[in-house]
């Protein structure tokens, strides 16, 4: 996988950096057991790949020799199979934050082999810089070039890169010559200092550029530049299924109701944030179908589908932290790079996910979830309350601060064994104070302005029909208790659906 013969240094315009060229295994050799490393990478985009693979190899060799070797891994968000996957398989990760989608890393987290901390994506950078996670020994950052002034051109994500560059003691740059050099100019790197020195973030629309296209680096901290050539390894998305399309249509129906009622500006809506995957893609497809034009996005990730929407005019501008494209979409992107530069900006995740910016812009937040309870509390992270799926990601940043906050989910999982609407969530990431609208393929539950008991009625109506009677029965009996209170629950039964699933493989009763 690692090609040690790459020698094209034409993207290094500051000659000082030529003196720092090393191979990936030499970089890995610098990183000793117990090191804390901040990697670039956000939803599989812009991760270094050679250095992590070399670290994984080193770990394997050392373990074979009976020696300890593990590092602490910080990233932007999820990386990919050659970073999280390779390091997890090599049992090389003692600690991981803030978000992961790799199945091997997930297994290590759930077995306890890797300690994991689940942090809002907007918050990790400043919390690290504030010293809450201790020292950072290395930053390992993928770049697509170095300018004459010694500034760094990011690749397909900005993530926490500038913060890692600022905070880490030593820096390893992975210059990936496969990344389009046309990426130059797509980024807007605005970095906030710690309080009490912060200023207002001057973003007033998703398209505002408020920083520099380049990242700053202290050359004296650079201990290596590794040349690489590799594409982002992104998961392919399956075609839209009926359920996703139905959810997307319900979202569009909800938004049209809002426009109709005068609660959203006609035509342009407000800036959209949508998560990744099938359901998110279905929402965007639904908006296209409904004839929307000129929409703006203030979101985390731009995927293949977004390029199509931009080309089609459905979306006029998209702000995000990562450009997560498949190889064929990269081709399209390269061919029409000047066009896309007018319509896309990539920001640090502290800015793409900034509570300040999200609330000011009035973002319409749409995120997936694992389950919600009858009162609208949402679990986004822990399956059956105990097993980590991916992490909270940016869903909290957007849901708490959005002008509208929607959570979308198919009503069932595991072929009908699991209901997405339950009496009591087994883990809680988004409280009743933050979830405004829950959407399944059966409709939307608009919870705004409703007391808990009113919410339950709406939630039960969008559950899968197989589970509605069970939910209604739980709710009715909870309400019938003496002193049932404001938020009625049967404490002895609240988690019984999850317990039953663990014992019998289904939430359904015999």
Residue 275 is assigned to a ligand binding site: yes
Q: Is 347 in the site for its own copies (CB under 8 A)?
A: no
Size of the site for its own copies (CB under 8 A): 80
The answer for residues whose C-beta is within 8 angstroms of residue 204's C-beta and 6 or more apart is: 360, 361
Least distance to its own copies from the beta carbon of 107, Å?
11
Q: Which of residues 421-450 bind its own copies (CB under 8 A)?
A: 426-433, 436, 448-450
Residue 57 is assigned to a ligand binding site: no
* CB neighbourhood size of 210 (10 A): 15
Q: Given CA atoms 205, 206, 212, 216 in this order, what sign does their dihedral have? A: positive
Residue 146 is assigned to a ligand binding site: no
Structure tokens at 339: 């066009």
Q: Which of residues 257-286 bind its own copies (CB under 8 A)?
A: 261-263, 265, 270
| Residue of 103, 131, 185, 294 that binds its own copies (CB under 8 A) | 131
Rg (CA), the chain: 23
Q: Is 198 in the site for its own copies (CB under 8 A)?
A: yes
Which one from 151, 258, 296, 300 is the annotated catalytic residue?
A: 300
Residue 414 is assigned to a ligand binding site: yes
Nearest to 300, CA basis, from 387, 395, 176 = 395
Q: Given CA atoms 464, 468, 469, 471 in this order, what sign does their dihedral have? A: positive
Nearest to 356, CA basis, from 149, 509, 210 = 210
Q: Is 236 in the site for its own copies (CB under 8 A)?
A: no
Q: Is 486 in the site for its own copies (CB under 8 A)?
A: yes
Least distance to its own copies from the beta carbon of 422, Å?
12
Least distance to its own copies from the beta carbon of 494, Å?
6
Q: Are 306 and 276 in contact (CB under 8 A)?
A: no
Residue 446 has φ and ψ, to the nearest 5°, of -90, 105
Residue 34 is assigned to a ligand binding site: no
Residue 112 has φ and ψ, to the nearest 5°, of 90, 0
Least distance to its own copies from the beta carbon of 247, Å?
22
Residue 344 is assigned to a ligand binding site: no
Q: Are 76 and 128 in contact (CB under 8 A)?
A: no
Q: Is 201 in the site for its own copies (CB under 8 A)?
A: yes
Residue 368 is assigned to a ligand binding site: no
Work out the end-to-end distance of the chain between its first and last CA atoms, rounded to an integer number of angstroms: 51
Comparing CB distances to its own copies, the nearer of 200 and 291 is 200
Specify the stretch interacting with its own copies by CB under 8 A; choose among 9-17, 277-285, 300-308, 360-368: 360-368
Task: Tell me the pairing of strands 272-274 and 364-368.
Answer: parallel
What is d(CA 72, CA 59) in angstroms, rounded to the nearest whole number?
Answer: 13
Q: Which of residues 132-151 bind its own copies (CB under 8 A)?
A: 132-134
Least distance to its own copies from the beta carbon of 171, Å?
22
Residue 160 is assigned to a ligand binding site: no
Q: Are 406 and 376 in contact (CB under 8 A)?
A: no
Q: Is 18 in the site for its own copies (CB under 8 A)?
A: no
What is d(CA 396, CA 429) in angstroms, rounded to the nearest whole number?
Answer: 8
Which strand (E) or helix (H) includes residue 472? helix 465-480
Q: Which of residues 88-127 bind its own copies (CB under 8 A)?
A: 95, 109-110, 112, 115-120, 127
Q: Given CA atoms 290, 296, 300, 306 in this order, what sign does their dihedral have? A: positive
Q: Per-residue contact track with its own copies, 369 to 408, x per CB under 8 A? A: --------x----xxxxxxx---x---x---xx-x-----
Least distance to its own copies from the beta carbon of 110, Å?
5
Q: Are 470 and 398 in contact (CB under 8 A)?
A: no
| Residue of 451, 469, 480, 505 that binds its own copies (CB under 8 A) | 451
Determine whether 332 is an active site residue.
no
Q: Which of residues 301-320 bind its own copies (CB under 8 A)?
A: none
Coil vs helix vs strand at 342: coil
Least distance to its own copies from the beta carbon of 126, Å?
8
| Residue of 11, 58, 347, 489 that binds its own copies (CB under 8 A) | 489
Residues taking part in catalysis: 300
Which residue positions form the known binding site for CoA? 275-279, 390, 394, 414
Which residue positions form the known binding site? 275-279, 390, 394, 414
């Amino acid at each position: 996988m690692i090609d040690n013969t790459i020698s094209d240094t034409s993207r290094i315009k500051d000659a000082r950096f030529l003196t720092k060229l090393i191979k990936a295994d030499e970089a890995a050799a610098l990183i000793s057991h117990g090191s804390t490393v901040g990697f670039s990478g956000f939803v599989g985009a812009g991760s270094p790949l050679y250095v992590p693979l070399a670290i994984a190899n080193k770990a394997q060799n050392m373990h074979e020799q009976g020696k300890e070797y593990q590092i602490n891994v910080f990233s932007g968000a999820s990386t990919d199979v050659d970073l999280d996957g390779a390091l997890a398989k090599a049992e090389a990760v003692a600690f991981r934050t803030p978000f992961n989608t790799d199945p091997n890393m997930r297994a290590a987290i759930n077995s306890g082999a890797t300690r994991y901390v689940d942090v809002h994506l907007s918050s990790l950078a400043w919390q690290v810089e504030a010293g809450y996670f201790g020292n950072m020994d290395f930053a390992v950052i993928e770049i697509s070039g170095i300018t004459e002034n010694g500034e760094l051109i990011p690749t397909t994500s900005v993530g926490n890169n500038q913060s890692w560059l600022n905070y880490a003691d030593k820096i390893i740059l992975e210059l990936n010559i496969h990344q389009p050099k046309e990426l130059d100019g797509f980024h807007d790197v605005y970095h906030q200092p710690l309080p009490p020195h912060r200023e207002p973030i001057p973003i007033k629309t998703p398209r505002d550029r408020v920083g520099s296209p380049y990242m700053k680096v202290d050359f004296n901290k650079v201990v290596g530049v590794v040349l690489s050539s590799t594409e982002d390894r992104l998961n392919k998305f399956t075609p839209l299924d009926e359920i996703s399309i139905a959810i997307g249509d319900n979202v569009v129906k909800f938004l049209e109701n809002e426009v109709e009622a005068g609660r959203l500006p006609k035509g342009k809506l407000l800036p959209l944030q949508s998560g990744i995957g099938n359901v998110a893609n279905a929402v965007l497809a639904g908006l296209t179908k409904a004839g929307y034009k000129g929409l703006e996005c203030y979101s985390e990730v731009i995927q293949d589908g977004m390029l199509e929407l931009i080309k089609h005019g459905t979306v006029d501008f998209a702000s995000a932290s990562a450009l997560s494209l498949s190889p064929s979409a990269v081709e399209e992107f390269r061919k029409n790079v000047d066009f896309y530069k007018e319509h896309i900006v990539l920001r640090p995740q502290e800015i793409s996910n900034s509570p300040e910016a999200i609330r000011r812009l009035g973002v319409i937040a749409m995120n997936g979830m694992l389950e919600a309870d009858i009162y609208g509390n949402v679990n986004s992270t822990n399956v059956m309350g105990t097993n980590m799926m991916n992490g909270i990601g940016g869903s909290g940043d957007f849901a708490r601060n959005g002008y509208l906050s929607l959570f979308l989910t198919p009503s069932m999982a595991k072929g009908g064994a699991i209901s997405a609407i339950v009496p009591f969530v087994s883990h809680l990431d988004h409280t009743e104070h933050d979830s405004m609208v829950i959407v399944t393929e059966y409709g939307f539950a608009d919870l705004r302005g409703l007391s808990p008991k009113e919410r339950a009625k709406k939630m039960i109506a969008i559950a899968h029909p197989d589970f509605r009677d069970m939910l209604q029965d739980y709710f009715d009996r909870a309400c019938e208790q003496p002193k049932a209170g404001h938020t009625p629950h049967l404490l002895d039964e609240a988690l019984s659906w999850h317990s039953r699933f663990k014992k019998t493989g289904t939430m359904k009763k015999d």
